[in-house]
Amino acid sequence: MNDKHSEFSLFRILDAALNRTNEGLRVVEDYARLAIDDEFLSTELKRLRHDLTEASKGIERSKRIHARDTVGDVGTEIELPSEYERVPGHEDVGNSDVASRGEWNEGIGGTIKANFSRAQQGLRTIEEFSKLLDVSIAKKIEQIRYRCYSLEKSFNATLFGRSELVDASLYALITAQGDWELRVKTMVEAGVDLVQLRDKDRTDQEIVAVGRKIAELTRGSNTVFIMNDRADLANAARADGVHLGQDDLKVGDARRLVGPSKVIGVSTHSLAQAKQAVSDGADYIGVGPVFPSTTKHFEKHVGLELVKEVAAEIKLPMFAIGGITLGNLPSVLDSGARRVAVSGAINQADDVGHVVREFRRCLTQ
């Protein structure tokens, strides 16, 4: 860059883009930190700003400052009405943990969307023009831009959430044993929010046949039907979504199979796995096993401590799972969980409808 005018213009562009990017990221970070109290997303946004600062050290700050000319910037006089309008960035009001605090207003979705866009556009400008200085800087900025796209996806899942999960608190897991059809019908009528088919002992064809019957029983109700493990069978059975274990498909791969409209949940057994599920774009997570279970064997139980950790850091819908009964439910609620997944306590009850209603009463009071 021997031409002084060209160098001045280059650093002026980079300075404006860096400022715009940092401003956009900071607006979103402040909302994650101060409005929804999401420690994980706040940390990720802060880390992104820090990495941007490190990556841009090769763009001399002194030259940026000397090239800054806010008064002479013709863009400061250009205004569009849409700049001062903030409309919802999503059709759903969103996560009940957020909405219940009374902090939601119709413009917050637009604010978040606009500031993520501001940051991403700024990153693209930095990437393109930093190639004229140092290609290695451009490559670092490119990776930060990709991370920003992924972070927006995670943020939206947490802030807006799936409409199916907004008020969901009770998740029943069933196997197709005994009078399972009557049990599912009773659960749906009693108001269970989600029902998952978890059956390892049947053929794929049998699972699909059972799944289609469950889809029929839940159709037209407020109950969401989830297929365990298998995204392909979820599609075939016309389920509303799929639940993935740590050894199953990755969220992104499952999403390619089931499409954008279906719900995807992930089982997590550590805080790191919970954070990864959020980053991967899961719609909800299961955290456990909390207690020994009568329906599934685990070598290790993470207990209530992990539930407390996840509840403190992550605001994506979380269902505590593993050996939960009406008797130990108060301790689960005390740990910070507001949603639970239950198997034996419901399926083995003499009066399934009564137990479902009791769970719902305790969870929603």
What positions carry a catalytic annotation? 198, 267, 296
Number of neighbouring beta carbons within 10 Å of residue 360: 16
223 secondary structure, DSSP code: P
d(CA 150, CA 226) in angstroms, rounded, equals: 25
Closest CA to 171 of 241, 248, 252: 241
Spatial contact of 314 and 293, defined as CB atoms under 8 Å apart: no
What is the torsional sign of CA 165, 171, 176, 178? negative
Could you tell me which residues come within 8 angstroms of residue 168 by beta carbon, excluding any fewer than 6 positions away?
Answer: 193, 194, 224, 317, 339
Amino acid identity at 46:
K
DSSP codes of every residue in 26-80: HHHHHHHHHTS--HHHHHHHHHHHHHHHHHGGGS-HHHHHHH--STT-GGGG---
